[in-house]
Chain A
Amino acid sequence: MAYKPSKRRMYEPEYVGLNLFPVMNLLVVLIPLLLSTATFVKLGVIELNLPKAASGPLAQQTLGKESQRSLDLTITITGRGFYLSSSRIILRDPGSGGPTIPVLSNGAYNYLELSTQLFELKQKISSTFFDSKRIILQATRDIEYQILVDTIDAARSIHMDGKQYELFPDVVISAGII
């Protein structure tokens, strides 16, 4: 007499696999396509205004009339640090008479201090001057481009308590070399 087949064997659940091949085909095509068009480095641009002195004697004249109420806030980048000045006064380090914000002991520029000082200044002047958004940048001839860009960043806005405050977004690069 033959053995009766076991009932347990009959009800074994069968594994049903999803047919993923169409999806795989799609992904294999899509991934190289997106990879080839992906931009991993994002570029930006800093908009500059024309150096005023470069536009000739006419601009000089009109500038002369308006400058009675202008602030002409200027940052001068030197090898020793930042000098802050306006049309009336040059701020100096009260102790040594050196730059307003001297370089740190490791030779790095103190951008944070620059932003903070400009922020305090911005609170004081608010909008009494017509050029209260403008800042003029000067530098000695051997200052590196990256330092200039970092200074522009520091002068444009400040991050405080998780908020971003606008400082002096209109950056003008002065035409003279010191």
Chain B
Amino acid sequence: MAFIPSRRKKHATGPVRVSLNLTSMMDMFTIIIVFLIKTYSTEGQLIHPSKNLTLPSSTVETAPEVALDVVVSQEWIMVNDRPVIRVASLKEQRDLFIPELNATLLKYATEAKRIEEKYGIKFTGKVTIQGDKKLPFGTLLKVMATCGRSEYPNMRLVVYQKSG
């Protein structure tokens, strides 16, 4: 004789413990966290690329360091994020020397030298140049020549590192 299920017990299932199956999520998180820890650099970013320009890419592996920041975007030449002169106004100029940029750089140089005297932080004349990748060589050269004549002879060009 077959077993007849009890009709009274049919709905009396009571609270059921449902547990989420988190295994796949854990897998995903583990992979993400390993990736993020691998890309994590302890130094952080010392140079922040400006928003309105695209740096050229290169295969160099030299890490950037902190220095005076000269940005040459499509429109403005900026020193430490303060606009100095419009790039368009340099087009006609034949001379390599940019007086406005020179004045600004000299101001920073005197400041840096004053700090050197007071606190002993050496003034090395380092300057990093961030240029837009479409910038014509003539403009870039004018900026570099001016830096060289304004107590900042150690120039570095900031680039994106090509991966692989």
Contacts and interface: CB of A to CB of B under 8 A. Distances in A.
A146 B56 contact: yes
A3 interface: yes
B5 to A, nearest CB: 12
A51 B59 contact: no
Contacts of A41: 49, 160-161
A67 interface: no
A10 to B, nearest CB: 16
A34 interface: yes
Contacts of B114: none
Contacts, number: 149
Interface residues of A, number: 46
B160 A34 contact: no
A153 B39 contact: no
A3 B3 contact: yes
Interface string A11-43: 000010100100110010011001101111111
Contacts of A146: 56-57, 133-134
A173 interface: yes
A31 B32 contact: yes
Given A38-B39, A44-B160, A143-B137, A153 B44 contact: no
Contacts of B36: 31, 34-35, 38
Contacts of B59: 153, 157
A24 B40 contact: no
Given A50-B148, A55-B153, A42 B137 contact: no
Contacts of A55: 148, 153
A36 B129 CA distance: 26
A45 B96 contact: no
A43 B22 contact: no
A39 B41 contact: yes
B72 to A, nearest CB: 9
Contacts of A30: 33
A43 B56 contact: no
B98 interface: no
A55 B134 CA distance: 28
A150 B157 CA distance: 12
A53 B18 CA distance: 79
Contact of A175 (B60, B133, B145): B145
A58 B130 CA distance: 30
Interface string A37-66: 111111111111011001100000000000
Given A3-B3, A39-B39, 5 more contacts: A43-B64, A44-B161, A45-B128, A55-B148, A153-B58
Top 6 nearest A-B pairs (CB, nearest first) are A141-B138, A34-B36, A146-B133, A45-B156, A42-B161, A54-B148
Interface of B: 3, 19, 22, 25-26, 29, 32-33, 36-37, 39-41, 44-45, 47, 49, 55-65, 96, 128, 131-138, 140-141, 144-145, 148-149, 153-161, 163
14 contacts: A20-B26, A34-B40, A35-B36, A41-B49, A43-B45, A44-B64, A44-B161, A51-B148, A143-B136, A145-B135, A145-B137, A175-B141, A177-B96, A177-B137
